Structures are given as structure tokens and as C-alpha cells.
Amino acid sequence: MFRDSTGPAIPAQGYPSLPFDALHERPGIGAASPGRPPAAGGWHLPWDRLSPAEADRVRGRLGAGQYEFHTSGVTGEPVRRVLSGELLLADAAHGARLLAPYAPEAVVSFVPPLHAYGASATVMLPALAGLPVWFWPGSDCPPPPVTARRIAVVAIPGTFRILTRHPRWTASFEQLVLLHGSAELPPEARRFARDPRTVLIELLGSTETGAVAHRSGWDPHAPWTLLDDVAFAAPRVGAEGPLTVTGPRLAALPGGGRPEEHEMDDLVRRLGDRLFLRLGRRAHLLHVNGARRDLGAIAARLGAALPGADVACVRAGDGEAYDVLVAGGGPLTAEGVRAAARGLGAEPRRVRLVDRIPRGPLGQPLAPPPDPAA
């Protein structure tokens, strides 16, 4: 939403260089209504071209703003939240500190600034670090012409699928640090886990809280660590329950007040003062025959078994059943997909082969498309 053809241009395969004043011309980084699509084209912000005084001036104007966002609506009705520029900069500072040991020379982001995570990681983080940033909007846009040798990639689940389509581009770097802003890694991530040049840093958070925890490495069962300005409000040590946090970066409520704590959709087992294991999103957990099933994990394993397919699992019926949506992946049959899911120990209620699965800005499946048979 920062597309602007004025200002200094670079021959960058459809990545115009934005004037920094474009960041302030509209009321709010994320003032778009829910469902508004991200910008269609990529862009570039050359923070490295600014003098220290110019960079301080732009950061000051960013920090003075008030920015409105909406939650995705995946786990309930979309909720409006307001974040100050100061809170977004503080949120971005955590990401910048996690990246600092790897000394990236540029940032490539797949997260649109209309989302709170995108505002923090795509705009504020490069501003703090003084790094040039390219916003790569998706598979319809070519890779940005980055000449740096070490880059940070602000990633969401769909990022991995896009990067696998551009192996020559990824091979041109001596180091890629993936700052992944979702707790679910897609099957395509396995390729990068085997690449010694690639580092994974994961952030856990929400629009209401900003980033709350992090972990590094490719172990999907590794514990998470709270960020240093976040504290547990619940559950107690040794117990399972919704991750409830308190801290100075909670988003303001529509009426202007700020809550003392926020209960997230993540179910966790608390290990200590700062550590926890994440068991899944409550909205994606089923209890089938006394066993807990994580729909995100089932979708990831099905995706690995169905190369090239986009897979989503959604709750159905009484909350103890689920449906599978599959798009692409070559010649598939519903019964073949059902057999693959049955092999994972949790047979779906039904399988639907669809043209595409609607997804939000961070790759999360939205409301399923209408069922032609309904």
C-alpha cells in the first residue's frame, strides 16, 4: 500500500524505490479494512542511502504515528487494534537484536505492512537497522535484485514455497537468515533445513501482543523463550493452558485503554519462568477418541505426502471432526487424499478438491470456499 512511482527510481525488475515521505502520506500503516489484498507490486526502501540525520528524522516520524490494524478473523470476528509507532519500533527492536549476530546486509520481506507483523518487520526493523529492504509480494513478482551477500528474509509459511521456485536466486547468497513469523512450518521448509547457509529464527506473537517469544533452529519440538519485556500471566509452571502474557507492548483497545494482559490462542505447557512448549493453536486442536490432534501438523504432513499441493485442515461439525481442502498437486482423488490422511491416524470427515485455498496475509487459511455440493 506504499506504492508510489515518484522519487528516485532504480532499474529493479518492478521494484521501484519509494520516497520515504510515502510512509507518512496515508493515515496508518495498516488502516486497510479486513480482507483488503496487499500491494500487487514489490518495492524497495533504501535505508542505507540515508545520512544518519535523515534516518533519524524518518524514524522519528514513524515513531510518532498511531497505526490501526485488524486481526485476521481466523479464530473469531476480526478485532480492531491500535499500535503506536513507538510500540511497533520496540517490537521491531527485538527482531533486530535476534538478527544482529548474523550481520545481514539487506532485508527481503514477504509480509505486507497492512498487517501488524509486516509493519514491524517490513518497515520498522529495516528502519532501526539501517538496512535496505525489498518487499516481495508473492509468486507473481520476480525476485528482487539484491546484491548483498548476507540477507535476512522476513518469512511466512508461503515464503518457503516461493523460494523453492527460485533456487538460483537463493544460491546466490552466502547466508540467509529466515525470520519466520508463524508457528507452523510448511513441508517446503525441509529443503532449507538441510542447507548449512540457512538459519531459522521463529517469532511467536499476535496483533494484540506483538512478538512475545522466539526460538532458533529447525527442531519443531524445541521450547520457546519469552522475549525480555514479556512475562507469563498464565498458566502456572508445569501446567497446560492458553498462553496469557503481560508486557508493555500490548495493543490499545478500540476505546483507547490498554489491557493488563492478553490470552492468546496458543495452547502451551509452561516449563519455567521464561520457557514453554507450544502444543498448537486452540482453534486448530481436536480431541478425537481421547487423543489431541493438531490440524496444522496434519496439514503439514499431508502436504509433505502430496508434493505440489496446497493443503489446509479445518474444523467441522461438532469440533471433533475435520475437513481437508486440497488445491493443486497434480492428478489427485478425494479417496487417495483420504487414504493418506487415514495413514496419519486421523481420518477426515470429508475431502474437498478445490481450485485454491483462500489465505490471509500471513498464509493462514481463511473461511473455506463454498461447497458446490452443499
**Which pLDDT belongs to residue 30?**
43
Query: What is the rounded CA–CA span in Å between residue 340 and residue 19?
Result: 51
Nearest to 72 by CA among 208, 241, 221, 166: 208
Indicate the pairing of strand 309-316 with strand 231-234. unpaired
pLDDT attached to residue 24: 52
**C-alpha–C-alpha distance, residues 250 and 259, integer Å:** 7
Residue-level pLDDT at 361: 62
* Of 160, 90, 103, 173, the residue nearest 131 (C-alpha): 103
Residue with cell 496508518: 28
Q: What residues contact 374, with CB distance under 8 A and at least 6 apart? A: none
Q: What b-and-e string marks burial along 259-294, b requiring 16 or more CB atoms within 10 Å of the CB?
A: eeebbbbbbbbbeeebbbebbbbeebbbeeeeeebb
Rounded to an integer, what distance in angstroms lies between the CA atom of residue 245 and that of residue 223? 17
Dihedral, 3, 84, 181, 356 alpha carbons, nearest 10: -50
Give the per-residue pLDDT at 141.
87
Q: What is the pLDDT along the chain (374 residues), one digit of tens a residue?
A: 232 323 333 334 568 887 777 665 443 454 333 333 334 578 999 999 999 999 999 999 999 988 888 765 455 566 778 889 999 999 999 999 999 999 999 999 999 888 889 999 999 999 999 999 999 988 888 899 999 999 999 999 889 989 999 999 999 999 999 999 876 788 788 889 999 999 999 999 998 999 999 999 999 889 999 999 999 999 999 999 999 999 999 988 777 788 999 999 899 999 999 999 998 887 777 766 556 777 877 888 888 788 888 888 887 766 678 888 888 877 888 888 888 888 877 788 888 888 888 776 666 676 666 665 54
pLDDT for the residue numbered 10: 32
In this structure, what are the phi and psi dihedrals at residue 92, rounded to the nearest 5 degrees? -65, -30
**Closest by CA position to 360, among listed 8, 75, 49, 51:** 75
